[in-house]
């Protein structure tokens, strides 16, 4: 894992050394905690979803992390570390590794992804994952920001995960594994800080449903912040 | 809520410290009425850090001789000036004399004309002044211009000017932020709409649905949505962080220009802002424009003008009533304004007039669908018929401009990462006052109104033409020319002695004030016999514009967009050999 991280950093540094003296393209970082929320369910599930990137206009290194915890501790998380390169005006191609963990198992994947702003302003990301056991996964996300006012923003979102094989340890079944839809309403006191309320619906399908049956709608409160 | 219309703190002084300037150079000019005018042929300018309080918060500015703006330099046409510029900053600095014709080594662009002025060092500029009028100077290093390194140059003509006036004031407009410019730039890279609080909302769309029905409203939005372009994207950096200044004063502390009833007052407007276009008017007064970018134009009477970053306009006004008038300069996105009073006495101050509605970009600003704009023009108030027939005439002239053919030198062009938009049918829009000023019921200056005061009939015809596309990716906040940013570009080769026609096509939704160093830009405004001479030419969104340059100055010259945060990418080195 460490090797991969340093490898990716080296790629970025290399890509940049050519333009080292440039003023137009400074090194920029951002940490966004997009979701940090508590669901109003039996376990009071705590959910986070955030990302960090460091890089330049064209080349960036991304770290994505999302997961949930209950009073019993960490339940599951998905983490990705990818090298991201702008390949079109609105689109980045990404390559790297993903690391999934739940309470009793973990799995590492190789990953390629496309991320960007689709027409009609949909923030989208599609990631294709492959692991050592030959399982192939597809993770899709889309999000839209509807401005009710300049500061009150409604964000519908949709996520879907699909896999080619069963992986009981990871609670993954082949086919459509799970769907998650959310609707969050945040108020940006400043751009960098916005508390929100929302509602989320999650359902597992197929064999996933046998390993980990979920069909739940919850309301939540949370906070979004970045720096 | 940090958003402010003009400024947060009211009872603030513009500067905490006013360092003493060289006594020798402190003689006050009789004619010019602003404070801090340096005259003579030898000048001492010190660039240093100065604590300021412009918004109610303490901040540190970079200043010239301890003041914002720096001192007005009064030169005389035909004389040689010597300027000793000392850099007390911790970083390299420089002064560029904007619009001044001089040898390349004196132009003050680090990396092109010289190495810059290292910390603690003094650089002595010396050159012969070959022109007259209103110009300005500023740092050409990093973002120092944003933090205060700018001032006005007024050059007294050798010959008597062809207009009369009793009093003379500099009105320098600028934008100040307590945020560090590096922070502003970083935020734009993180989130390009960071400073825009005038975006479309769901309500905007619902209103449109109410007005024209769902399917029409939806299809009107279609192209914008597909192209991911924002029709409220007028300024990258806004009044959210900026306080707009007039001669260094915010709208609360107010710049005051005194007049006696019946006097003719010359106002020399300079836009020294980093990122802000201003729409300027003096409610109750007509303004007669007599010079643009320092050069005399045929006098034209107007009620309002838009001044692009780095442009200058000289106007003459005749207040006939014993009352205070507002010199009102609202930012193009209406997120704030700079304001001062034109008043018979300093105790009589004006209240700010209401700002105009926030402008919305239309298809014309994307370089398409001229028909829509013609409808708009056709509906122009009052003299509708006159306007349309006049417009017909002008249109023919643009056809003439369109049909000019010179050998075109092809330049490299790249589509892709750096280009999110392409103006499909860019047109000469010289008589278009621009977004937010169309059909506002006032006589607004357009480039079509600008005619050189003197004949250019004998000026040479161009030998060749180059076409430059102004390009950008607003989402990633990257700016470029022909889809290639400066760092990846080759210099433009101009041949000494040639006359070159430069045509710009703006493939973005923003105005770009393009500034060629070292040589004049003779702008085509519809009459080839009166090409207007400028140093900074605003290229409107989605539009096309052409000007001619006599290549009469050898060396390396900067050629760039004067929006400070566009400049690093939207830049070319010009080599004249």
Over the stretch B261-281, which tens digit does the pLDDT of each residue have?
999 999 999 999 999 999 999
CA B19 to chain centre: 29
C-alpha triplet B507, B513, B517: angle, nearest 5°: 120
Contacts of B14 (CB under 8 A, 6+ apart): B52, B53, B54, B68, B245, B248, B249, B250, B253
Chain A contact present for B191, CB below 8 A:
yes
Rg over CA atoms, chain A: 18
> Are B473 and A58 a contacting pair at CB < 8 A?
no
Q: Testing the interface with B: which of A89, A91, A145, A156 to mutate, by most B Cβ within 10 A?
A: A89
Whether A23 sits inside 8 A of B142 (CB atoms) is yes
Residue B8, token pair as written in the block: 């947060």
- Chain B residues with CB under 8 Å of A191 CB are 191, 194
The percent of residues above 90 in pLDDT, for chain B, comes to 81
Residue B425: exposure state from Cβ atoms within 10 A (0-12, 13-18, ≥19): exposed
pLDDT tens figures, B453-468: 999 999 999 999 999 9
Most confident of B173-177, B211-215, B232-236: B173-177
Residue A14's pLDDT is what? 47
Mean pLDDT for chain B? Answer: 89
**What does the mean pLDDT of chain A come to?**
91
Radius of gyration for chain B, computed over Cα atoms and rounded to the nearest angstrom: 23
pLDDT at residue B518 tops 80: yes
In the predicted structure, residue B327 carries a pLDDT above the cut 90: yes
Chain B residue at shortest CA distance from A28: B186
**B420: contact with A, CB 8 A cutoff:** yes
pTM over 0.80: yes
- Which candidate from B201, B420, B478 shows the least CB-CB separation from A148? B201
Say whether the peptide bond before residue B183 is cis (omega within 30 degrees of 0): no
pLDDT class for B372, splitting at 50, 70, 90? Answer: very low
Closest to A89 (Cβ–Cβ): which among B199, B419, B569? B419
Whether B182 has its CB under 8 Å from any CB of chain A: the answer is yes
Contact B416 A88 (CB under 8 A): yes
| Joined tokens for residue B22 | 């060289």
Distance in angstroms (rounded) separating the CA atoms of residues B333 and B227: 22
* Chain A neighbors of B140, CB-CB under 8 A: none
Residue B10 has pLDDT above 50, yes or no: no
- Residue contact B476–A148, C-beta within 8 A: no
Question: Rounded to 5 degrees, what angle do the CA atoms B231, B430, B568 make?
Answer: 60
> Is A121 in Cβ contact with B476 (below 8 Å)?
no
Q: Does B139 touch chain A (CB under 8 A)?
A: no
Flag if A89 and B417 touch (Cβ within 8 Å): yes
Look at residue A7 in the predicted model and tell me its pLDDT: 56
Among the listed ranges A17-26, A70-79, A191-200, B289-298, which one has the minimum average pLDDT value? Answer: A17-26
Provide mean pLDDT across the span A87-104: 95
Kindly report the length of chain B. Answer: 577
Residue of chain B whose Cα is closest to the Cα of A92: B417
């Amino acid at each position: 894992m460490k090797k991969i991280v340093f490898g990716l950093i080296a790629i970025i540094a290399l890509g940049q050394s050519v333009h080292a003296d440039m003023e137009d393209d400074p090194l920029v970082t951002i940490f966004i905690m997009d979701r940090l929320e508590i669901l109003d369910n039996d376990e009071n599930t705590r959910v986070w979803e955030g990302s960090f990137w460091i890089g330049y206009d064209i080349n960036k290194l991304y770290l994505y992390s999302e997961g949930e915890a209950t009073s019993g501790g960490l339940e599951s998380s998905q983490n990705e570390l990818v090298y991201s390169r702008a390949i079109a005006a609105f689109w980045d191609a990404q390559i790297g590794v993903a690391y999934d963990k739940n309470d009793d198992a973990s799995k590492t994947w190789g990953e390629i992804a496309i991320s960007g702003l689709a027409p009609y302003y949909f923030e989208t990301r599609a990631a294709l994952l492959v692991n050592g056991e030959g399982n192939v996964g597809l993770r899709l996300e889309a999000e839209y920001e509807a401005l009710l006012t300049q500061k009150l923003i409604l964000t519908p979102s949709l996520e879907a995960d699909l896999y080619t094989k069963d992986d009981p340890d990871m609670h993954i079944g082949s086919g459509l594994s799970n769907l998650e839809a959310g609707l969050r309403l945040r108020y940006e006191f400043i751009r960098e800080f916005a508390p929100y309320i929302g509602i989320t619906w999650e359902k597992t399908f197929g064999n996933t449903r046998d390993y980990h049956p979920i069909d739940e709608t919850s309301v939540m409160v949370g906070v979004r912040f970045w720096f | 809520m940090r958003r402010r219309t003009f400024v947060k703190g009211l009872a603030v002084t513009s500067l905490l410290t006013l360092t003493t300037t060289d006594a020798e150079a402190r003689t006050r000019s009789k004619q010019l009425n602003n404070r801090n005018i340096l005259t003579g042929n030898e000048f001492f300018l010190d660039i240093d850090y100065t604590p300021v309080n412009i918004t109610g918060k303490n901040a540190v500015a970079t200043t010239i001789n301890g003041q914002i703006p720096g001192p007005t330099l009064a030169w005389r046409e035909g004389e040689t000036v010597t300027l000793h510029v000392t850099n007390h900053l911790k970083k390299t600095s420089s002064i560029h004399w904007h619009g001044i014709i001089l040898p390349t080594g004196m132009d003050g662009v680090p990396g092109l004309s010289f190495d810059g002025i290292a910390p603690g060092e003094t650089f002595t500029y010396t050159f012969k002044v070959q022109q007259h009028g209103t110009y300005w100077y500023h740092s050409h290093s990093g973002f120092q211009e944003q933090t205060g390194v700018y001032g006005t140059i007024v050059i007294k003509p050798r010959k008597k000017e062809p207009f009369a006036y009793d009093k003379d004031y500099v009105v320098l407009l600028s934008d100040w932020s307590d945020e560090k410019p590096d922070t502003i730039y970083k935020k734009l890279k993180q989130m390009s709409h960071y400073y825009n609080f005038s975006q479309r909302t769901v309500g905007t769309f619902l209103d449109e649905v109410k007005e024209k029905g769902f399917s029409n409203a939806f299809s009107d939005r279609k192209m914008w949505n597909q192209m991911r372009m924002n029709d409220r994207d007028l300024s990258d950096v806004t009044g959210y962080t900026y306080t707009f200044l007039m001669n260094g004063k915010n709208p609360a502390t107010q710049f005051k220009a005194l007049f006696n009833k019946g006097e003719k007052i010359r106002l020399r407007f300079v836009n020294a802002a980093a990122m802000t276009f201003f729409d300027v008017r003096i409610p109750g007064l007509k303004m007669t424009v007599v010079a643009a970018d320092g050069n005399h134009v045929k006098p034209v009477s107007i009620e309002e003008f838009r001044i692009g970053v780095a442009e200058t306009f000289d106007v003459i006004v005749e207040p006939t009533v014993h009352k205070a008038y507002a010199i009102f300069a609202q930012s193009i996105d209406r997120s704030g304004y700079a304001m001062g009073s034109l008043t018979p006495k300093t105790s009589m101050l004006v209240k700010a007039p209401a700002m105009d509605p926030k402008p919305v970009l239309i298809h014309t600003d994307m370089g398409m669908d001229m028909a829509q704009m013609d409808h708009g023009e056709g509906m122009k108030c009052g003299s509708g018929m006159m306007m349309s027939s006049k417009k017909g005439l002008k249109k023919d002239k643009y056809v003439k401009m369109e049909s000019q053919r010179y050998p075109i030198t092809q330049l490299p062009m790249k589509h892709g990462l750096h280009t999110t938009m392409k103006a499909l049918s860019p047109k000469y829009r010289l008589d278009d006052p621009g977004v937010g000023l169309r059909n506002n019921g006032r006589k607004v200056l357009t480039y079509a109104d600008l005619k050189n005061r003197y004949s250019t009939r004998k000026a040479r015809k161009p030998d060749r033409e180059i076409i430059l596309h102004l390009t950008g990716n607003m989402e990633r906040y990257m700016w470029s020319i022909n889809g290639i940013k400066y760092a990846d570009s080759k210099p433009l080769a101009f041949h000494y002695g040639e006359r070159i026609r430069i045509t710009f096509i703006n493939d973005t939704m923003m105005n770009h004030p393009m500034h060629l160093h070292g040589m004049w830009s003779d702008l085509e405004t519809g009459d080839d016999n009166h090409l207007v001479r400028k140093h900074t030419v605003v290229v409107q969104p989605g539009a096309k514009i052409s000007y001619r340059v006599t290549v009469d100055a050898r060396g390396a010259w900067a050629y760039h967009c004067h929006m400070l945060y566009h400049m690093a990418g939207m830049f070319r080195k010009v080599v004249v050999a």
